[in-house]
């Protein structure tokens, strides 16, 4: 006798597959991660579960690369995806398209929690902040080689202070694995490369995009760094854990480049002021000596060995002639340079620097370029782009 | 550990030397010959610093990991 409707296992499975895969698409599932495994192929396998049931889940390598955080067992998540059936094992599974920590506030909460923990440990304490070199010559950058942040930093460094060697350590700046790459880069710089400072950062993005810079592993690497670290993540309004633990927080990657080096035109002005001061000083040194000799010649002319004084006087005249030549020569060189410099300066509007929020501080009409030159109770003038304001140092 | 800078000619070292010379000339009562020597050196250092600022371009190098995870440095052309 013939039994009807006999199905092979394959046939049944195929029917189930087609039924399930057409009925259960575009799902959003909430659950807790367990048995999290990353296969060497890059695919991620885990189980989503709640109190009563389990669901096998898979996140293929291509999508795993876009994960914004590091999933762990026990983490509550929302998974989006569709049901697929794996015929060889007769198993259905959730083919995950995207994975997010549960609840909008979860990332924010994780952020606050870590911030508090590290703060209590003292990782943000001012006493651990290293000062940055005034004129760095070699800097390290930890960022994406293709991101806008790198270009922004390089453009500004090239314009402001190009006497630099820059070592780029390319890393992923978002998604699964980004945090450990960033942390490793900081460690590698400390171990192998003698740079004066490290900029760690990326351009703007959502809280999720910036998440790598909120991970503990990055914070610990920054704290452990013997080399000063500048954190330059996102926009002005974005604060990350990296910002708190770094030796200096820059509001943006561009700002980091502005903060770590002084503008070359300012430095050149500074140097020219030094030259002027040196010239004034050496002139007055000469004048003093000459006066002294004249008075000596007058007062002791009767009983002092005149010859010696005359010799000395002659020597001074000689040196002065030499100095005159040297200074004249030097001035003509400076003037040549000045012409080309002033052409360059004309193409830049110095006011624009002030308009960007920078100020100049004067004391007795002289520019104060270093904090150390200011003392308590000093009266200063702060020059803004629109007006000057008097102030007193507290 | 940060190693001591090997090149005496780092920009920072030169700037510090210049500041040092300016201060010495400004403050103390030094012999004439010495003051001239300092002045000459100061001008020389100034020129070096200005030239360095005017002429240089950023040297960009990129780190790469080879198969064994060993780090290597590669020169990168910086194009404006």
Helices (H), B1-80: 11-27, 32-55
A322 interface with B at CB cutoff 8 Å: yes
Alpha carbon distances (Å) from A224 to A33, A68, A130, A138, A336? 32, 25, 11, 20, 49
Tokens, residue B75: 């020169």
Q: Over the stretch A248-262, which tens digit does the pLDDT of each residue have? A: 999 999 999 999 999
Terminal alpha carbon distance of chain B: 34
* pLDDT reading at B5 higher than 50: no
| Whole-number pLDDT of residue A35 | 92
| Whole-number pLDDT of residue A257 | 95
Q: Over the stretch A131-167, which tens digit does the pLDDT of each residue have? A: 999 999 999 999 999 999 999 999 999 999 988 999 9
For chain B, positions 15-74, list CB contacts with chain A under 8 A: 15, 18-19, 21-22, 25-26, 30, 32-33, 35-36, 39-40, 42-43, 46-47, 49-50, 52-54, 56-64, 71, 73
| Whole-number pLDDT of residue A327 | 64
A287 interface with B at CB cutoff 8 Å: no
d(CA A365, CA A9): 93
Min mean pLDDT across A167-171, A214-218, B10-14, B66-70 is at B66-70
* Residues B3-20, mean pLDDT to the nearest whole number: 74
CA-nearest residue of chain B to A169?
B63
Q: Are A285 and B32 in contact (CB under 8 A)?
A: yes
Residue in the structure block whose two tokens are 């620097």? A353
| Size (chain A), residues | 394
Q: Is A55 exposed, middle or buried (0-12, 13-18, 19+ CB in 10 A)?
A: middle
| More confident call, A213 vs B58 | A213
Query: Which ipTM was obtained for this model?
Result: 0.81
| Whole-number pLDDT of residue A160 | 92
Q: Which parts of chain A register pLDDT below 70?
A: 1-2, 68, 103-105, 293, 296-312, 323, 325-358
Could you tell me where the beta strands, DSSP code E, fall in chain A?
Answer: 27-38, 44-49, 54-59, 76-86, 91-101, 138-143, 165-170, 197-202, 229-233, 248-250, 360-363, 366-367, 379-383, 388-392
| Whole-number pLDDT of residue A342 | 47
Q: Over the stretch A66-86, which tens digit does the pLDDT of each residue have? A: 776 778 888 889 999 999 999
């Amino acid at each position: 006798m013939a039994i009807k409707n006999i199905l092979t296992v394959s046939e049944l499975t195929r029917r189930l597959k087609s039924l399930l895969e057409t009925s259960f698409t575009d799902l959003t599932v909430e659950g807790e991660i367990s048995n999290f495994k990353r296969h060497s192929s890059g695919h991620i396998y885990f189980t989503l579960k709640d109190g009563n049931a389990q669901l096998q889940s898979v996140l293929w390598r291509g999508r795993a690369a876009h994960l914004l955080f590091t999933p762990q067992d026990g983490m509550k998540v929302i998974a989006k995806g569709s049901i697929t059936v794996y015929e060889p094992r007769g198993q259905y599974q959730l083919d995950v398209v995207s994975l997010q920590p549960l609840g909008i506030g979860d990332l924010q909460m994780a952020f606050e929690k870590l911030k508090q923990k590290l703060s209590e440990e003292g990782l943000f304490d001012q006493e651990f902040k290293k000062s940055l070199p005034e004129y760095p010559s070699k800097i390290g950058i930890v960022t994406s080689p293709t991101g806008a942040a790198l270009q922004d930093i390089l453009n500004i460094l090239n314009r402001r202070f190009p006497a630099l060697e820059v070592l780029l350590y390319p890393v992923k700046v978002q998604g699964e694995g980004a945090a450990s790459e960033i942390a490793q880069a900081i460690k590698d710089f400390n171990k192998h490369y003698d740079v004066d400072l490290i900029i760690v950062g990326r351009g703007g993005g959502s809280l999720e995009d910036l998440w790598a810079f909120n991970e503990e592993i990055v914070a610990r690497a920054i704290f452990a760094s013997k080399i000063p670290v500048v954190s330059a993540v996102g926009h002005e309004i974005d604060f990350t854990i990296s910002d708190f633990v770094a030796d200096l927080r820059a509001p943006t990657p561009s700002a980091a480049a502005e903060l770590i080096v002084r503008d070359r035109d300012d430095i050149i002005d500074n140097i020219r002021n030094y030259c002027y001061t040196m010239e004034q000083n050496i002139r007055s040194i000469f004048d003093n000596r000459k006066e002294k000799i004249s008075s000596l010649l007058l007062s002791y002319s009767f009983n002092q060995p005149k010859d010696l004084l005359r010799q000395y006087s002659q020597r001074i005249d000689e040196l002065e002639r030499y100095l005159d030549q040297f200074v004249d020569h030097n001035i003509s060189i400076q003037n040549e340079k000045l012409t080309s410099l002033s052409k360059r300066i004309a193409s830049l509007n110095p006011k624009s620097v002030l308009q960007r929020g920078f100020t100049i501080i004067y004391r007795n009409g002289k520019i104060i370029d270093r904090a150390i030159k200011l003392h308590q109770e000093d009266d200063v003038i702060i020059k803004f782009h629109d007006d000057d304001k008097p102030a007193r140092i507290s | 550990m940060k190693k001591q800078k090997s090149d005496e000619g780092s920009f920072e070292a030169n700037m510090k030397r210049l500041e040092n010379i300016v201060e010495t000339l400004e403050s103390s009562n030094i012999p004439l010959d010495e003051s001239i020597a300092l002045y000459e050196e100061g001008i020389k250092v100034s020129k070096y610093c200005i030239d360095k600022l005017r002429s240089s371009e950023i040297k960009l190098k990129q780190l790469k990991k080879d198969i064994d995870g060993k780090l290597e440095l590669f020169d990168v052309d910086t194009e404006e």
